Amino acid sequence: MNYIKSLYFGRWFYLGVITLVMLFVFGYFYDLVYVYTKLISIAFFVLVVIDHFLLYRGKKQVFARRELPEKLSNGDINTISVFIENNYRMPISVTLIDEIPDQFQVRDFHYTIKLNPKGNKIITYTLRPVKRGEYSFGSLNLYVTSILGLVKRRFIFDKGTKVPVYPSFMQMHKYELLAISQQLPETGIKRMRKLGHSMEFETIREYVPGDDPRSINWTATARKSNLMVNHFRDERSQQIYCIIDKGRTMQLPFEGLSLLDYSINASLVLANIALKKQDKAGLITFSDKMGAVLPADNKRTQLKSILETLYNQKTRYLESDYELLYARIRQHIHQRALLVLFANFGSLEGLKRQMPYLRKIAVNHLLVIVFFVDTELDKLLNDRPTEVEGIYIKTIAEQFVLEKKQMVKELESVGIHTILIPPSKLTVAVINKYLELKARMLI
């Protein structure tokens, strides 16, 4: 039964059958044509048998392997490779059909290549997932034909391979490498000038040209008879928390990726940069109920814990409870920390309902609220409507944009820092804000 299922015919077979049928019909009226048609038919089916023998004479004449990474990066271009090897002693044509996970909704994926005897080739293609979770790849199907092209043989490999899609670790590595190579300004990330000395004293050493005269330690200078200066270092081990609202408004999609996933990706990058700066990174998620609470730490396994925690976060499609968030912050965070809250307030009234709790949080901590510019509204604002309906839609869009700006003023008037940014520029904006606040010694 398996043998019958693996037998397929090439396009030349079907063309040959159609031609023979036409010749037999024509030969019905002409005896000579009928005789030649029978001879052609015999030759045709002999070729089919030969082609079948060439393709089916061995079990492992073709080998293929799908090369997948251990995990895919959400929102990024991931490269998938397929290695194909020809073990026949003849050239073949191979049609590759890879059963891509259902989440991508790709139903016509195929490649056709030619391989020399004992030759091999690597086919690469890219996928961009926009949801976290486990993705299942189906079978890797190869349809092989010889030069005759009359018969096809199907080979099946790598059936049922699963791979998880994690928050964007590609972005995390990208900004980490840029930070190490001092190329952050090229991506729009600003280098901030410090406004004063850190209060974390390290040591006293001899003065060298270029030291700040204000750091001279006159007592040590008198004792040593040489100019001595106090040496300070940047304060480290500050607590940095990313707080992610998982309410219904965070499910809005932009370029296929939800606001929740944009926030998760940016949180992972910020946590990694904070750990590289010797700060402690933590995580809190919430909606109508409290989600994950990962205390800030800078141990070696902290980034992995943050990555695994972010991987499992899901939207709850309900109104978020900021009173519950305030209570949990008071319970778990006992020293002043930088809290970066990713949220998306639907209206000014919605923000005002949560304002009492935000103000209470900002009393003990440095609070930065990140919310989003609706890029679809920007497109409407750039249009020039000619009909009444278009004018009405543009007016409503202008009101929404104005309301976002009013939210920023409302928050800044009570000392809460804000970032109003398009989702695509979120990561750079958050890193900039973190570096700015550190440079200003606010944390």
Pick the range with the lowest mean pLDDT from 134-148, 183-197, 241-255, 294-308.
183-197
CATH topology of domain 169-193+235-439: Rossmann fold (3.40.50)
Q: What are 313-332's pLDDT values in tens digits?
A: 988 778 899 999 999 999 99
**pLDDT beyond 50 at 5:** no
DSSP state of 184: G
- Measured in degrees and rounded to the nearest 5, phi and psi for residue 130 equal -125, 10
Q: Are 38 and 26 in contact (CB under 8 A)?
A: no
Confidence tier at 13 by pLDDT (50, 70, 90): low
CA–chain centroid gap for 440, Å, is 32
**What is the pLDDT, as a whole number, of residue 263?**
95
Instruction: Say which residue, 405 or 24, is predicted with more confidence.
Output: 405
> pLDDT value at position 1?
33
pLDDT band at 33 (very low <50, low <70, confident <90, very high): low
In CATH terms, is domain 1-166 a member of 2.60.40.10? yes
> What is the three-class DSSP state of 416?
coil
DSSP state of 138: -
Write down the domain spans for the chain.
1-166, 169-193+235-439, 200-233
Polymer length in residues for the chain: 443
**pLDDT for position 8:** 64
| pLDDT, tens digit (0-9, with 9 covering 90-100), for 122-179 | 999 999 999 999 999 998 999 998 888 888 889 999 888 899 999 999 988 888 755 5
pLDDT at 20 over 70: no
Question: Which helix H or strand E contains 367, and what residues bound it?
Answer: strand 366-372
User: And the tokens for 26?
Assistant: 């024509």
Q: What is the pLDDT of residues 36-49, one digit of tens each?
A: 666 667 777 778 77
Give the pTM: 0.77
pLDDT over threshold 90, residue 203 = no
Phi, psi of 408 (to 5 degrees): -60, -45
Instruction: Encode pLDDT of 234-243 as tens digits.
Output: 556 789 999 9
In the predicted model, is pLDDT for residue 26 greater than 60?
no
Q: What percent of the chain has pLDDT over 90?
A: 45
pLDDT digits (tens, 9 = 90+) for 59-93: 788 999 999 999 999 999 999 999 999 999 899 99
The predicted pLDDT at position 37 comes to 63
Between CA 411 and CA 393 the distance in angstroms is: 28
Question: What Å distances lie between residue 76 and 168, 255, 262, 308, 337, CA to CA?
Answer: 7, 12, 11, 18, 31
Residue 345, φ and ψ in degrees, nearest 5:
-75, 125
Higher pLDDT, 230 or 425: 425
Cβ proximity of 90 and 114 under 8 Å? no
- For the chain, the average pLDDT equals 83
Q: Binning pLDDT at 50, 70 and 90, where does residue 212 land?
A: confident
